[in-house]
Amino acid sequence: MSFLNAATRYLFFAGKGGVGKTSIACAAAVTLADRGQRVLLVSTDPASNLDAVLGVPLSSHPTAIGVVPGLFALNIDPHVAAAAYRARLLSVYRGVVPAPEVATIEEKLAGACTMQIAAFDEFSRFLTEEDGAKDFTHILFDTAPTGHTLRLLQLPAAWTEFLERYTATALYTGPRLGLRAHQARYAAAVATLANAERTTLVLVTRPQPTALREAARTSVELASLGIHNQCLIVNGVFQTTLRDDAVAVAFEQRGQQALAAMPESLRLLPQTTVLLRGHNIVGIPALRELLAEQQRQALDMKTGAPVASLQVPPLADLIEELAALRHGLVMVMGKGGVGKTTIAAAIASELAGRGVPVHLTTTDPAAHLAMTLETALPGLKVSRIDPKAETETYRQRALTSAKSRVSAEEFAFIEEDLRSPCTEEIAVFLAFARIVASARQELVVMDTAPTGHTLLLLDATGAYHQDMVRKFGRKVVATPLMRLRDPAYTKILLVTLPEPTPVLEAAQLQADLRQAGIEPFAWVINASLAAAGTRDPVLVQRASAEREYIRIVQAQHAQRVVIVPWATEEPIGPERLRRLAQGG
């Protein structure tokens, strides 16, 4: 791990969900602390699982990891950050302006944009030596899946530019009340990110086409922000010694083919390879071993017997029930990297193949639907919520509506306000609301963004619902939240892998949904080696470990569970997707 031998002060670990960012970031933090450095590990993921990997309960303040002297960790909790941000801003106005005006300001601070501003406000403090950050030699950021991370890293530059260009009173309304006071900090954060002597972007990927493409996209987009000091870690590389094991050979070949087709921009980066482990990377001993000098584990392991068959229904059973629907919403949710896009595309492809008209869409900023489907399919309409396109459409509609009914001065005020980065959050939510409403007339299968990004979208849904209830009371007919709560209208599928972190995160997501009055319809355990059958010692070890988490899902979390075996062929294109859906 050459980037740790001359580690910069700031290290950002970024990549597609499920590639092992948290494990790699934690292992790097432990390595630096073991070398006598004082290290702070920060998660910017709204659905962080640092606690589970480190084995220590964390909060929004640095917590010492006792078994690793010098290592501290924390989670930036967007809800906690937003509450503190609101309280800080409102304290300036309480007792100074009339109570009704304070109430109006408080209402404007209730939206999802405030939560995002507050989170990036906390994030920027660590880049500018505030709140004790100067006490650490190195600060490592375990980031959320790509779409959310790009948004977080782009916000300092976006707000800095906005604050520099616009000065009208729009700046002093709603969630942007406190931004001007910290303009210098945000400008300093942008400079720090672009300083190659202080900041390194560590792109984490797996030997999978979508993960590699997303790493390349992240590399290019963050280079455009001035973050040029980058390196690449390819995690989970696998080699088998059993050439007669079809699953093991396919597992190896798919990885080799993906690496052979690696985007050229990634080939130019310094690279490190991390071998696939047979065990789950949880706890300090496993983290220390992950980045140690690597030995081929399988050489010291005996060939295993395939894991006994599982008593879990296939995905085809679930699709059979969905095929009876002619309208409604099927939302596919879960942690990044668990295969939500594949499952959503497989369900939609199989339904369309049966003659059921389907609208397949995604809320994921890093959408991979087109790459997964490859070609069009009769009866299948495909769309995506493109944040940039939705923002521009929303802005133009708002300006057209305002032009004929307000003064030139008021129009200038509105035009400036619509250039705020907050506008994107509003536009994306409205696009989401339109698609939810469209399920009254059609069957919509929605591939959602990774958990943290989706939770922020649901927060916006909840805030909108509360706003409508405040304004109209019992006259409210149907908000998006009301439709999501209706089990006859919406069926939510929680997708997970049979591994500790994905199962834990799916359980947390289910708890959050239930708190909002939304009950999941079923769990989908995806890409199970235990259901595929293999004799390779590393894969057998992983398959054996899966059984415990499959049992936990069945016994503790889900009333209904289906399982999808790991596929020997990459599930891309309508034919392979339908085979996956049918269990073949």
Under DSSP, the state recorded for 406 is: S
Partners of 138 in the beta sheet? 39
Instruction: Give, for 538, the enclosing helix (H) or strand (E).
Output: helix 537-552
Instruction: Give, for 42, the enclosing helix (H) or strand (E).
Output: strand 39-43
Number of domains in the chain: 2
User: Splitting the chain (584 residues) into consecutive groups of 10 residues, what average pLDDT does each group show?
Assistant: 87 87 94 96 83 90 94 88 79 77 72 71 79 86 69 63 55 51 74 91 92 90 88 95 93 95 94 90 89 50 54 93 94 88 95 95 78 87 91 90 84 78 81 92 89 64 66 66 91 94 88 90 96 91 92 94 92 92 82
Tell me: do 493 and 540 sit in the same domain.
yes
Tell me: do 287 and 330 sit in the same domain.
no
In which order are the strands placed within the sheet that holds 199-205?
Answer: 63-64, 71-75, 39-43, 138-142, 10-14, 199-205, 230-237, 271-275
Tell me: do 444 and 527 sit in the same domain.
yes
How does 450-489 read in b/e, with b if 16+ C-beta sit within 10 Å? Answer: bbbbbbbbbbbbbbbbeebeeeeeeeeeebbbbbbbeeeb
What pLDDT does residue 296 have? Answer: 41
Calculate the alpha carbon distances from 403 to 411, 413, 488 in Å.
Answer: 6, 12, 42
- Specify if 453 maps to a domain: yes
- Specify if 344 maps to a domain: yes
Tell me: do 348 and 379 sit in the same domain.
yes
CB 42 within 8 A of CB 73: yes
Tell me which residue has tokens 């890409």: 527
Residue 226, Ramachandran bin (φ over 0: left; ψ between -120 and 50: alpha; else beta): left
- Specify if 300 maps to a domain: no
Tell me: do 283 and 331 sit in the same domain.
no
Tell me: do 289 and 344 sit in the same domain.
no
- Specify if 236 maps to a domain: no
CB neighbourhood size of 545 (10 A): 18
Tell me: do 199 and 320 sit in the same domain.
no
Q: What does the alpha-carbon distance between residue 182 and residue 215 come to, in Å, rounded to a whole number?
A: 31
Tell me: do 164 and 284 sit in the same domain.
yes
Structure-token pair, residue 290? 């992950």
- Specify if 521 maps to a domain: yes
- Specify if 395 maps to a domain: no
- Specify if 186 maps to a domain: yes
Calculate the alpha carbon distances from 194 to 80, 150, 229, 483 in Å.
Answer: 28, 14, 8, 44
Tell me: do 37 and 160 sit in the same domain.
yes
Tell me: do 447 and 349 sit in the same domain.
yes
What pLDDT does residue 172 have? Answer: 44
Tell me which residue has tokens 């303009």: 183
Q: Choose the final residue of a domain: 242, 260, 293.
A: 293
Calculate the alpha carbon distances from 515 to 164, 410, 485, 502, 511 in Å.
Answer: 41, 41, 11, 20, 6
Whichever domain contains 169, its CATH number is 3.40.50.300
Tell me: do 334 and 286 sit in the same domain.
no
How does 140-175 read in b/e, with b if 16+ C-beta sit within 10 Å? Answer: bbbbbbbbbbbbbbbbbbbbbebbeeeeeebbeebb
Calculate the alpha carbon distances from 215 to 202, 265, 360 in Å.
Answer: 10, 10, 25
Would you name the residues annotated as active-site residues? Answer: 18, 20-23, 45, 501
Which residues are CB-contacts of 67 (< 8 A; sequence separation ≥ 6)? 284
Residue 131, Ramachandran bin (φ over 0: left; ψ between -120 and 50: alpha; else beta): left
pTM of the prediction?
0.77
Strands 10-14 and 138-142: parallel
Q: Which of 275, 278, 295 is nearest to 233 (CA)?
A: 275
Q: What does the alpha-carbon distance between residue 153 and residue 123 come to, in Å, rounded to a whole number?
A: 9
CB 390 within 8 A of CB 457: no
- Specify if 248 maps to a domain: no
What pLDDT does residue 301 have? Answer: 47
How does 101-131 read in b/e, with b if 16+ C-beta sit within 10 Å? Answer: ebeebeeebbbbbbbbbbbbbbbbbbbbeee
Q: Which of 93, 85, 76 is nearest to 110 (CA)?
A: 85
What pLDDT does residue 224 have? Answer: 85
What pLDDT does residue 523 have? Answer: 98
CA angle, 577 as apex, 384 and 449 as ends, to 5°? 35
* Structural domain boundaries enclosing 97: 2-204+279-293
What pLDDT does residue 171 have? Answer: 42
What's the start-to-end Cα distance of the chain, in Å? 40
Structure-token pair, residue 346? 């497989």
What pLDDT does residue 414 have? Answer: 80
Q: What does the alpha-carbon distance between residue 210 and residue 373 come to, in Å, rounded to a whole number?
A: 13
Calculate the alpha carbon distances from 534 to 266, 485, 543 in Å.
Answer: 32, 41, 8
What pLDDT does residue 458 have? Answer: 72
Tell me: do 496 and 456 sit in the same domain.
yes
